[in-house]
Amino acid sequence: MTDIVIYHNPACGTSRNVLDLIRNSGVEPHVIEYLKTPPSRTLLIEMIERAGMTPRDLLREKGTPFAELGLDDQALTGEALVDVMMEHPILINRPLVVTPLGVKLCRPSEVVLDILPDAQRGAFAKEDGEQVVDAAGQRVSDR
């Protein structure tokens, strides 16, 4: 059984699409609602590094206190940005997915296909109707 973890926000359509794509590969992932159970500081830093990102790359602006906290200040260090993400988990962009093949911020949702070890088991369309996977389990969208 493949071990997959998704840091999920059920109120986010992209996050719901990613969760459904993981399930379409035949895997029931560990779902962590990161607003209720944020990752530890050490784990967050590890995921950022494994994803080849910087803390700034993981910051979410929309629907967060990003502007109020002055997080557009480019002088803020990565350490300072991690501190603020730990204090305000809503600032962590989502969904973050961890699989044996890597860690990715899955925006757009079909990015998760790059790190799923198991093939899709059938057709999949996003909530908005965009077809991502055909009936044969093959990716149809261009990125």
Active site residues: 12
Give the helix ranges, DSSP H, for 1-143: 13-24, 41-50, 55-58, 78-87
How many whole angstroms separate alpha carbon 6 and alpha carbon 96? 6
Are the C-beta atoms of 18 and 124 separated by less than 8 Å?
no
